[in-house]
Structure 1
Amino acid sequence: MGEHTPAPSPGRSYYGFVLYLLGWAGIVTYLVWALVPHSYLASMGLTYVPQPYWALAFPSVVIMLLVMFVFFIYPAINFMLAPPPHDIRTLTDSKALKREDYPGANDYGVPPVYDIHISEVCRVLYR
């Protein structure tokens, strides 16, 4: 069974069932912590329980961090990975097809497709 397949197997079903139970146990624990009065939990012997304030504060902080990541950090990472505007890689790459790559291109009825150099584009657009 050395293959990596997405097919169900007994091992995966055991892991899935344990994760399912742990997920529900986590949800129930969170709801008990958030909704049951702290004095009632202390009377049951659960004295070392975070304050119920954190039941609302922690998810709020997590959501705020996610929003900060999505709107600030992720675009900043993309800007750092992108080449600067004056870099030659923003204008051409190794896959670019040049007019010189097609000898005798004017012999055909329809000219072949190729990339136009940026200086030629600027000359036509801005005279």
Structure 2
Amino acid sequence: MPEHSPSPTPERAIYGFVLYLLAFVLFFFYLIWAWIPDAWLHQLGLDYWPQKQWAIALPTFLCFCFLMSYPVYFGLTFLNSPPLTSREVIKDSHTITLTGKIYPPESIPPLSDLSITEVNKRLYLHDS
């Protein structure tokens, strides 16, 4: 099985180029619809078009939805996280602990979680 990489394969490059051209064509038609008066479009035989107010309302609505996605995402994160009084906040199935291994003082220890007693010692016990 080939290894996945972010470099563009020929298929991805072709799809990307087609989407790039399609975006420009759609934007061009959007600008024509938004800026050319309805009388000119009717003379060309283009009778049915949405009302011109949608040229402003739709992009505004999409920008609003994009900006509101951040508070909604943060709210869902807070709703799905356990409360601070839960034991799952202190230790769960993904906790990584160092079990009695001694490392040289100049070395960087491997990534691990600190126990709540170690956190309390470091935060609240000061040597005077």
**Shorter-normalised TM range:** 0.5 to 0.7
- Partners of 2:17 and 2:115 lie apart in 1 by 56
Give the CA RMSD over aligned residues: 2.9
* Shift of residue 69, structure 1, vs aligned partner: 1.4
Partner of 1:34: 34
Pair 9,56 (structure 1): closer, same or farther in 2 beyond 3 Å: same
- TM-score scaled by structure 2? 0.67
* Aligned positions of 1:13-92 closer than 5 A: 13-70=13-70, 72-92=71-91
- TM-score scaled by structure 1? 0.67
Partner of 2:115: 115
Give the letter aligned to residue 75 of structure 1: F
Contact 2:90/2:116 (8 A) holds in 1: no
* Runs of 5+ consecutive residues of structure 2 not aligned to the other structure: 103-108
* Shift of residue 80, structure 1, vs aligned partner: 2.1
- Partners of 1:50 and 1:73 lie apart in 2 by 31
Pair 6,79 (structure 1): closer, same or farther in 2 beyond 3 Å: closer
Aligned length, in residue pairs: 108
- Partners of 1:90 and 1:27 lie apart in 2 by 49
Structure number with larger C-alpha Rg? 1
Percent identity, please: 34
Secondary structure of the equivalent of 2:85? Answer: coil
* Shift of residue 81, structure 1, vs aligned partner: 2.5
Structure having the higher helix fraction is 1
